[in-house]
Amino acid sequence: MVAMARKDEEEGPADRVPHLPWMRYPVDIDTFSGRPVTQLPRLDPRLVEALQRMGIESFFPVQEAAWLETIGPGAFERDICINSPTGSGKTLAYALPIVQMLCTRKVRCLRALVVLPTRDLALQVKEVFDAIAPVVGLSVGSAVGQSSIADEVSSLVQKPRQEFYPTIDKEYVQMEPRTKIDILVATPGRLMDHINMTNGFSLEHLQYLVIDETDRMLREAYQSWLPTVIQLTHSIGQDHSCHDIDGKTLLHPLTTIRRSGVERGFKSKCYPRLAKIVLSATLTQDPSKLSQLELHHPLLLNSGKKRYRIPTKLESYKLICKSNLKPLSLIVLLQELQGNKCLVFTSSVESSHRLSTLLRFFENLPFKFSEYSRLQRESTRRKTLEAFKEGKIDVLIGTDRMARGIHIDGLRYVINYDMPPYVKTYIHRAGRTARAGESGSCFTFLRKHEVKTFDKMLKKADNAGCNLHSLPEESIETLRPAFSGALRKLEGALESEAVKKYDLGDKTPGASKRKRPNQLCKQ
Ligand SMILES: Nc1ncnc2c1ncn2[C@@H]1O[C@H](COP(=O)(O)OP(=O)(O)OP(=O)(O)O)[C@@H](O)[C@H]1O
């Protein structure tokens, strides 16, 4: 009962009317057909060319909808919230309007900030900006912890050019914008490092804030990055003036002044205000969570009739099997998928590790697989993901860490080795395939007693029919003898790993809660 209550709190019933009035009347993304890139009003011709070089001939509906709500008369007068399926092109939906809006800027300083929960995602988003921003003279940076903090600092800010202002006091020179970039893509941790420690890093000129994967970003406080950013961009009443050597008041020519607005709707808010775009495939409707964003007259762009939607070309299948036969069923399924790229999701890092270690003890499997886990080093994970993208590995075994936002070209299959706990989890896992209008399949292993819960869960999403998939019994039987041997080797391997870690004083996350070595193999 407690577990069910928590689920409802997390997701709510499928068709519940949102508490917030503005969420009840969304712009329906499905009414946009996605026009050719050459036919989007006001799109800079240089951007049209850049998009064509990227192989983009026409826009996806969410991109057209976001453009029409942000560019032109009344541009960015309201904050934009986007709830649109995985792989529907949300990144370009915000990147393009921001780049278009900034392409007439005269002075380089940090004007747009995009925040994402993980480094992999942030780098993926930066690639999109890198493909369009430089053609209109904008510079894009990242703060994700990929390089040392010193390297990152020197890529983001420049040293003050005091020699150009020999007669003016230091304070004036300190106000010169020093950021080398117009757009920053960041993870919250590194963003906070720069806010707190990097001399010359300033958000005072920030005009656009994008929070991608908003529901996840709001679930975790990440060192209070959000209130900090909002606070730093509220500079009402700050004294922007400084004085020259004669004591005359001098206003720095490059200062963005936010005033207390008096127009309707802006009372007691800063103007020009910080325009926000928040988005997800599973945008929260929880008023208390959304209130943290301090949205200004928000406008919701929504896809589908229900709260959640599964990509049109995604086919969902369930496989019912006993838990002791799950590894064998997985092998048979992977054999069926014939070495096509596939992501396998488990419920925990331990379960991923156990499964991939077990598979290693089967000989001659017709697919190459690898574990992808937060317990691995960052460099190992990066190499594994690269190898998977390049097709050197066919199957990645991991947890929900791989589920958010990551795009892998040509990924046709997703397998839920363990049932996802929430429909949101299903949507993000399954959404690694069937992206950008391509087709894909998601298979979910279930024990008999899980079927009802799973079916009920999928009903919360639009377009979520699920067929039964069965595997040939004889193929499973053939693997049984190898299975017993592999299981024995697995226990031995896990035990010696545990002993080794114990001796070395395990420092990995969760180590203190880990079981003693002699308890491990009894599971
Ligand atoms: N107009 C377009 N035409 C063709 N391909 C596109 C277009 N827009 C985006 N894409 C491609 O679609 C893929 C998915 O886009 P994107 O990652 O932005 O989806 P998303 O909606 O953010 O998904 P998620 O919710 O999983 O993060 C990317 O590979 C991108 O290059």
Residues in the chain: 523
Distance between Cα 6 and ligand 1 center (Å): 32
253 part of a folded domain? no
Do 50 and 146 belong to one domain?
yes
405: Cβ below 6 Å to ligand 1? yes
Distance between Cα 165 and ligand 1 center (Å): 46
State the Cα torsion 255-259-261-266 to the nearest 10°.
Answer: 60
345: Cβ below 6 Å to ligand 1? no
Reference 358, options 445, 484, 446; nearest CA is 484
**pTM for this predicted structure:** 0.86
54: Cβ below 6 Å to ligand 1? no
The pLDDT, as a whole number, for residue 239 is 45
293 part of a folded domain? yes
- Residue 297 sits in a domain whose CATH number is 3.40.50.300
Do 184 and 65 belong to one domain?
yes
pLDDT exceeds 90 at position 136: yes
DSSP state of 101: H
Other CB atoms closer than 10 Å to residue 264's CB: what's the count? 6
60: Cβ below 6 Å to ligand 1? yes
pLDDT band at 250 (very low <50, low <70, confident <90, very high): very low
Q: What CA–CA distance (Å, rounded) separates 407 from 134?
A: 23
Do 143 and 217 belong to one domain?
yes
> What's the average model confidence in pLDDT over 271-285?
90
Q: What CA–CA distance (Å, rounded) separates 89 from 70?
A: 16
Q: What CA–CA distance (Å, rounded) separates 88 from 311?
A: 8
pLDDT exceeds 70 at position 65: yes
Distances (CA, A) of 25 to 28, 60, 421, 439: 9, 21, 30, 31
406 part of a folded domain? yes
Dig out the tokens for 163 from the structure: 């020699």
DSSP state of 505: T
pLDDT band at 273 (very low <50, low <70, confident <90, very high): confident
80 part of a folded domain? yes
477 part of a folded domain? yes
515 part of a folded domain? no
Are 427 and 310 in contact by the 8 Å Cβ rule? The answer is yes
Other CB atoms closer than 10 Å to residue 120's CB: what's the count? 21
Distance between Cα 298 and ligand 1 center (Å): 24
Q: What CA–CA distance (Å, rounded) separates 424 from 214?
A: 13
Contacts of 255 (CB under 8 A, 6+ apart): 175, 204, 240
352: Cβ below 6 Å to ligand 1? no
- What confidence tens digit (pLDDT) does each residue in 204-223 have? 999 999 999 999 999 878 88
Are 269 and 422 in contact by the 8 Å Cβ rule? The answer is no
Give the end-to-end CA distance of the chain in Å, rounded to a whole number: 27
Q: Which of 58, 92, 125, 217 to mutate to test the pocket of ligand 1 (most atoms within 8 A of CB)?
A: 92
436: Cβ below 6 Å to ligand 1? yes
pLDDT exceeds 60 at position 134: yes
pLDDT exceeds 90 at position 278: yes
Distance between Cα 91 and ligand 1 center (Å): 6
Which runs of E-coded beta strand occur in 47-89? 80-83
Helix (H) or strand (E) holding 296: none
- What confidence tens digit (pLDDT) does each residue in 220-240 have? 788 899 999 999 987 544 444
User: Pairing mode, if any, of strands 461-462 and 308-309?
Assistant: parallel
Q: Which atom of ligand 1 is nearest to the CA of 428?
A: 26
84 part of a folded domain? yes
Q: Which atom of ligand 1 is nearest to the CA of 34?
A: 1
Do 331 and 475 belong to one domain?
yes
> What's the average model confidence in pLDDT over 341-348?
96
- What confidence tens digit (pLDDT) does each residue in 138-180 have? 999 999 988 888 999 989 998 765 555 555 555 555 555 578 9
The pLDDT, as a whole number, for residue 500 is 81
Cα angle 368, 369, 374 (rounded to 5 degrees) comes to: 155
87: Cβ below 6 Å to ligand 1? yes
> What's the average model confidence in pLDDT over 296-306?
90
Per the structure, the count of domains in the chain is 2
Are 354 and 494 in contact by the 8 Å Cβ rule? The answer is yes
pLDDT band at 402 (very low <50, low <70, confident <90, very high): confident
Of 256 and 64, more confident: 64
Do 431 and 357 belong to one domain?
yes
Distance between Cα 90 and ligand 1 center (Å): 6
Q: Which atom of ligand 1 is nearest to the CA of 93?
A: 18
pLDDT band at 254 (very low <50, low <70, confident <90, very high): very low
Q: Which of 124-133, 152-161, 297-306 has the highest mean pLDDT?
A: 124-133
What residues does 343 pair with on adjacent strands? Answer: 396, 414
Q: What SS3 state is found at 323?
A: helix
**Angle between helix 61-70 and 90-102 (nearest 10):** 30
The pLDDT, as a whole number, for residue 477 is 94
- What confidence tens digit (pLDDT) does each residue in 363-394 have? 989 999 999 988 888 889 889 999 999 999 99
Q: What CA–CA distance (Å, rounded) separates 113 from 179?
A: 12
The pLDDT, as a whole number, for residue 306 is 79
Do 432 and 487 belong to one domain?
yes
Range of the domain at 345: 314-499
Do 337 and 283 belong to one domain?
no
Cα angle 449, 450, 453 (rounded to 5 degrees) comes to: 120
What residues does 186 pair with on adjacent strands? Answer: 115, 143
Do 283 and 383 belong to one domain?
no
Q: Which atom of ligand 1 is nearest to the CA of 436?
A: 12
State yes or no: cis peptide before 45, omega within 30 of 0: no
Reference 348, options 435, 430, 446, 425; nearest CA is 425
The pLDDT, as a whole number, for residue 3 is 41
Do 227 and 319 belong to one domain?
no
Distance between Cα 441 and ligand 1 center (Å): 18
Distance between Cα 92 and ligand 1 center (Å): 7
522 part of a folded domain? no
The pLDDT, as a whole number, for residue 296 is 94
Share of the chain above pLDDT 70, in %: 83
The pLDDT, as a whole number, for residue 235 is 58
Q: Which atom of ligand 1 is nearest to the CA of 57?
A: 3
Q: Ligand 1 atom 11: the closest Cα is on which residue?
A: 436
Distance between Cα 11 and ligand 1 center (Å): 25
The pLDDT, as a whole number, for residue 24 is 92
> What's the average model confidence in pLDDT over 331-355?
95
- What confidence tens digit (pLDDT) does each residue in 445-496 have? 999 999 999 999 999 888 778 999 999 999 999 999 999 999 999 998 998 8
Q: What CA–CA distance (Å, rounded) separates 218 from 119?
A: 17
Do 270 and 320 belong to one domain?
no
Do 376 and 291 belong to one domain?
no
pLDDT exceeds 70 at position 286: yes
In this predicted complex, what is the ipTM?
0.99
DSSP state of 274: P
Q: What SS3 state is found at 488?
A: helix
pLDDT exceeds 70 at position 13: no
Are 427 and 308 in contact by the 8 Å Cβ rule? The answer is yes
**Count of helix runs (H) and strand runs (E) in the chain:** 19, 21
Q: Which of 280, 407, 424, 438 to mutate to test the pocket of ligand 1 (most atoms within 8 A of CB)?
A: 407
82: Cβ below 6 Å to ligand 1? no
Do 297 and 322 belong to one domain?
no
